[in-house]
Structure formats: C-alpha cells, structure tokens
Chain A
C-alpha cells in the first residue's frame, strides 16, 4: 500500500506568518531584517524585491530553516532573533522538509555525482521508504524536463541551467509545500533562465505549492507570480515591507523607486552615456589579432611518456581588436567564448593558430601575449574575470587599487580618479571580500584599469548585476572607448552589447573537434 502523501497532486501548500520578525547576523551591528509583518496564504506565489541589504536572502534562509548555524562567511556565532516567523504555525526549523530552497550558484546546488542519486538525496533524508523514492525521482525529473537523462548520468556534465533544474527536481522529490528560490537564475545565460523559469511554472501548476522567489530581473517572474512584496532595509522607524500587492499595481506605483533601487523593472533599460562618435568599422589602430585560432582550457595532457594536445572547443577563430573600438563576443553556452577571451588576453596558450600583438601594443615585449611577463601583460591587456573575488590579491580596497601601479612603478596618480569615478572613495579601508556584488564588480574593473592597459577584456561583466551597476558600467566603458582604449566583452546581454556599440563576434556552439 502506498502512503497517502505519495499520491501525486496531494502536496499541501504551506502558509507563512511573520509578526514583528527580525534577525541580526552574528557579529553585525545592524539587523538584516527588522520588524517584518507578512502573511502569505497557502498556494500564493510571491516575488520579493528590494535593494541589496533589504534582507531578502535572510528571509528565505529563515523560511528554509537553515538560518543561524552558519552565515554566508562560514562563521558560526550568536545571532539575534526577535518576533516570530512561522511556517504552518510552527518555527521553520521544526518543519523539516516543508520547504525546499534553491540558491544562486549552480555548482553548490548539486550534492551527489549521479543525477538519480542527487534527486533522491532529499527524500532519503526525510526517511521516505525506498520503494517510494524511485517513483518520486522519475516524476521529479520528468517535471523539470530532465527525464531523458539516465539515472547514472554524471552531474558534472550538466550545464548551469540543467544543474538548477536538477536542484529543483531534488526539491520536488521532497514534496515540499513551500518552494523558495534565491536568485535561481542570476548565474545563467538567457536560455538557462527560461529553462528554469518554465520548470518552476510547470511544477507549481502541478503541485500547487507556495512560492517565494527573490530575483532582480522582474520580467522573468512577473507573469508567474500573483503578488509582489517590496522589502526595504530595516530600521526602527520603517516597517520592513514597503509595498505589497498584485504585480501590475506594485510595478506601476513603484516603478521609479524600484528602478532607483536597481531592480530590473520590465520594459525599462537604464539610460547610459552614448559615445561621442562611434568610429567606423576598421578605424583605430590595430592592437591585437587572432588568426586561425584554436582554443581550450585544458593543458596538454601526459599519457605516460606521450604528451597529447587538448581537443580545442573552438577552432579557426579570426578577430581584430582596435583602439577605441568595442568587440562583443556573443553566442551559445559552451561555444568557448570565455576560453577565446582568455586566450586573446594572453592567459591561455593557443592550441593552434596565433594571437599576435602589433608594435603599437607590444612596445618591445614581443609578439605573443602569452609569453609576456605578468607586469608586461597588465599594462597592455587588462582582463576582468566573471567572479571578482578571483582577482582580489590584498586585504584592503586601496591596496587593491595600488597593487598594479606599485608593481609597474608608475600610475599611482590614476588611482584617485578611478576611486572617484567608480564611487569607491568611501570604501578605501574596507576588505574587498566584504563588499556588495555591485561594489565588487566596480572594484574589479577599477583594479585592472589602474595599470592603464590599452586593451580591456571583460568576461560576462553584467552577470547578476542590478540595473544601477549595469548602467554605470556601460557608461564608464563608453568613456574608456572614447579615450582610445579597446574593449572586448564576452556577454549574453543584448542590451549591453548595444550600449557598447562596435563589432560583434558571434560564436556558434562547436562540437568538440575530433583529432
């Protein structure tokens, strides 16, 4: 006999009640959430909006019952809770399995190395009998559109969008009454975003579970939710909930406020500085050229005594980088866009073909950027990585900016101007790791520019950024272009490509070329 809770469609949606709820993380002076009053009825679908620091993620973690033990920096400590936050009338911690949480980074949403095992993990932890687990696994995989994968398919071979859908399947297999999504698509390309959104929509239609989603990009979720709640940073005077109502009403009432807070309101592209004059194709002096280029992240592999060159992800690439010109590298996931950019930047060795610097750029350092010393590289080609933290090398914002100029022995005078221009002056003494996402992005661009490179290469600079940082970045790059710097950007973002102007190199997804 099957247990009753295993029949499909019998998920009981959860109710949420918050009364004067507040939370202060251990070691922080200000509470992340202050006096929150909120009721969410069973089956409601709610989009949570608000500026960074409004406590959206904290609320989601609390609802998932995972708040308190470990904070985001991996520290445990004494936190403060006030008021009450209840799921189905009980504290979330006591309601194991009632809520499922999906976070932003796809790599950490996967627990086990085989698809079937990963989906089964949550159900196992809830002590679902073995015979009932596998039917749940198959059903959940079908609901998220991954039924075509064999159960022993390696999870490491999945794309970002597939990993997030797998995580959703793992949550669905627990049959939760509450689904919590914390910026589930911030790290995904446009195809991945839609994959995940549609999978969420399908499973909600089927189970009727309550949904709370946090996301900057409103247009993705607007038609799926029936209520938008706008939070604001908590204080004694203001309630945590600023606005609450049906999507259309909230968006109309709060359009300018939300836009000012950096929320991506549908149909609104923030204004950016336009270039003084867009140079014609082929203008500007040639700095870098790629010819017949084959690229791969892999290094040559040793197989016993033999050395085997890697299989390129993309071959036969031709591109020119010219001063004062923008080049956008676009195309499908897995086409090798970032790999190409890193090879162009002198950070990866070409598998075949060449990357050559002209005399205007090399200034005596030699034709091949990969062979340049690190000091020679940074004053010629600057690269901004997708994850800013990868590039932090000191413990203070000011040191971070001075690092390049000190190594080069010149250019420290430029630092002041960059601090000013990228609004980092207030933060000079802060630890780079403690900055917000937008601040980290601005800092990573500033640090690379402090070495005054002639070519600036950026890998997905707008990923996960709010509308304010986006607009600042686009405007700043257009200034740089006008001053003669060449800008190369790997991006999925059509609006950003347009804001930069210039040429576009579209790379098609390549099957790995057989040897």
Chain B
C-alpha cells in the first residue's frame, strides 16, 4: 500500500502533466456521462479511455489488479439492472422469479458501460498522479491553504504505516489471548478492540509527526516551494483531450438519438 502511494518508475507522458489539468479532464468526462443513462455515450467514452491507457503507463492487467473491485461492481450493477428493471420489448430469459427483456438488457448494458466509463478516468488519474505533485498543484495553482494541503499529504504517508500497524496489533492481541477467529460476536468485539489500539497508536504517531513538522518551521508563515507546479503545452493537450472525449460522447449519443437525461426518465 505504501508503495502504491508513489509513482516511482512511471515515466508515461501523462505522469508529467499537471495534476490539475488531468483532474479537469476527468471531471469533464464524468460530468457528461453522469447526465445520461445510455450505452452510446458510455461506449464512445470507454473506447477513448482505453486508447489513453498507454499514455498513463497503464496496462489491462495492471488495471485489473488495481481496479477489479470497481469493475466487478459495474458488472454486478449491470446484471442486476438487466434482471430487475421493468420489462419492455421481447422477453429473452424467463427464470420464473426474474426475467430479462430486450429493454432491460439494453438498460443493464448501458448501466454497466457507464459504470466502467466513469470509474476508468479515476483509475487513470490515480495511476499517473503522484500525491506530492497533486499537493503542489493544489497549493500553488489552486491556491488552497498550504497548511491544510501539506498536513493532509503528511498524514497520507501515515495511512500506509497504519496498515502495517493494524497487522502487528492483530498479532500482538492474539498473543494476549484475544481471538480474532470465533463466533461473529467475538470477531466484532476483537475488531473493535483492535481498532481502539490502532486509534491510540495513530494519535501518538500523528502528534509526534506534528512536532516534527513544527520543529522544521511548518506553520502559518510565508513559505517557498522547492518544486514549481507549472502548466505546459501538454496540459493544454490534456484538457483538450478531455473536451474531445466528453464532446464525442455527447454528440454520438445525440445523433444516435439515445441521449437520455437521467432526471427526465423515459
């Protein structure tokens, strides 16, 4: 988990773009997709997104490793929509307690594709954006208060540490006779106790880290930035790319007549 917080080794072109421009592009695409439940806009966006993969240094197997819960969730969402949505058109499968019709299948597929198409940009953004660069951009370009941004960044490093600590505390408590295997009640109790132990450690660590940061002059005063967060032509390209993907999805759905505003219903 701690390794996943840095991007060491990712030399892809999108890793060099400013996090804010990437964020803007992702926001554009997801905004368009969130407006309509139709399979045309979703699949157009999806095709574009898959083409962007190599630019972010991502491969299909890496995507599966990092994003399988999201992919699984989208697939399950699509499946349940197609069997539970109101039937319309020809009945394709009739299993007694549920049926799948042409209309509900179409809705289900649209739902699933849309799930993919909305989740993918986020995975793309995460896999080619270093948290430190993101913090630099947020503080220098978006003008968020640096105390808040850098405090969050430093705390994120502790999150990885907490994952290790959780495992250690679990073992340490088993060595005291607190079983984490047993009835449901025992497990819940054990987990609560372990969470309390972790909370205590987290607070201690956090207050020591706060002292470290304060002792290095961190505070409210003016500060300089060793790393300049800059925009370049690449960022223009990234935002333009976002506009192209979002626009194509919108135009394709409108011209195919499938554009279907979420709040207007059928």
Q: Which residues of A contact B (CB under 8 A)?
A: 61, 64-66, 69-70, 72-74, 96-97, 99-101, 103, 105, 107-114, 116-117, 120-130, 133-134, 137, 152, 154-156, 167, 170-171, 174, 297, 303-304, 342, 345, 347-348, 373-375, 377-378, 382-385, 387, 389-393, 403-404, 407-408, 433, 447-448, 451
Contact = CB atoms under 8 A, between A and B. Distances in A.
Interface stretch (B26-34, B90-98, B198-206): B198-206
Interface string B196-232: 0100110111111111111111110111111110000
Interface of B: 2-3, 5-6, 8, 61, 64-65, 68, 131-132, 153-154, 157, 160-161, 167-169, 171-182, 193, 197, 200-201, 203-219, 221-228
A339 to B, nearest CB: 11
A393 B178 contact: yes
B225 A130 contact: yes
A345 B175 CA distance: 8
Given A156-B3, A385-B168, A101 B217 contact: no
B78 to A, nearest CB: 19
B206 A74 contact: yes
B205 A391 contact: no
Given A123-B226, A407-B177, A111 B207 contact: no
B109 to A, nearest CB: 23
B175 A448 contact: yes
B223 A127 contact: yes
A113 B8 CA distance: 11
A408 B179 CA distance: 12
B157 A112 contact: yes
What are the nearest 4 A-B pairs in CB distance?
A374-B179, A125-B217, A122-B216, A390-B172
B49 to A, nearest CB: 20
Contacts of A304: 61, 64-65, 68
Contacts of A154: 2-3, 6, 8
B217 A108 contact: no
Chain A CB within 10 Å, residue with most, of B172, B193, B205: B172
Q: Which applies to chain B's interface (DSSP): helix, strand, loop or mixed?
A: helix
Contacts of A170: 216
B174 A377 contact: yes
Given A111-B154, A112-B157, A114-B6, A100 B175 contact: no
Contacts of A99: 215
Chain A CB within 10 Å, residue with most, of B8, B153, B206: B8
Given A373-B181, A374-B174, A390-B168, A121 B214 contact: no
A103 B226 contact: no
B178 A108 contact: no
A347 B171 contact: yes
Nearest to B218: A125
A103 B68 CA distance: 41
Contacts of B197: 389-390, 392-393
Given A377-B177, A382-B175, A393-B178, A66 B224 contact: no
B226 A108 contact: no
B211 A124 contact: no
A393 B200 CA distance: 12
Contacts of B208: 103, 105, 108
A112 B132 contact: yes
A433 B196 CA distance: 13
A371 to B, nearest CB: 10
A297 B216 contact: no
A152 B211 contact: no
A123 B218 CA distance: 10
B217 A174 contact: yes
